Amino acid sequence: MKFVIKYFEELIASIAISIVVISAFYGVISRYILNNPVAWSNEVATIAFTWTVFLGAASAWKNDKHIHLDLVYNFFPNKIKIISDWLKNIILTVFFIFALYLSIKFTITAYNKPTAILRIPFSYVDVPVVIFFSSIILRSIQKIIK
């Protein structure tokens, strides 16, 4: 269970990218080999890709792999770096909480809008954004405490 909690973002993103590949592959096979194209494979791949992008970005945030400008930062003394990191995480956490609020509102309003082919609620496309902001808020709080 600790493994699942520690690598939640990576696990879901891995499953989602596998779904993208399998769905796209099946779409190509059905169209060009079986001459019986399926309309849903592109939609499934697109939805899974959304999950991959946002949970991959959450994983990058967790592992400090996002791009940041550190040219000036590297010249700071360690005490200033610690204060700077702490302030950055607090400011970004406040912003992420606001963005989480907006993404929850957006996801709720998208529930009544069905996708074009599968006719599932569009919220399933938008919910990775909510998970993304929830994850980076949690990881930011962990960084602040650490």
Q: What is the pLDDT of residues 124-140, one digit of tens each?
A: 999 999 999 999 999 99
Bridge partners of 121? 114
* Ramachandran class of 9: left when φ > 0, alpha when ψ lies in -120 to 50, beta otherwise: alpha
SS3 content of the chain, % helix, strand, coil (to 5): 80, 0, 20
Closest CA relative to residue 54, chosen from 2, 17, 101: 17
d(CA 8, CA 143): 17
Q: How many residues does the chain have?
A: 146
Chain segment 39-65, per-residue pLDDT in tens: 999 999 999 999 999 999 999 999 988
Residues 6+ apart with CB under 8 A from 66: 57, 60
CB-based contact 41:27 (threshold 8 Å)? yes
Contact between 62 and 9 under an 8 Å Cβ cutoff? The reply is: yes
pTM, two decimals, is 0.87
Contact assessment for residue 93 and residue 139, using Cβ atoms and an 8 Å cutoff: no
Position 144 pLDDT exceeds 90: no
Is 38 in contact with 106 (CB distance < 8 Å)?
Answer: no
* Rounded distance between C-alpha atoms, residue 113 and residue 50, angstroms: 17
* pLDDT digit string, tens, across residues 95-127: 999 999 999 999 999 999 999 999 999 999 999
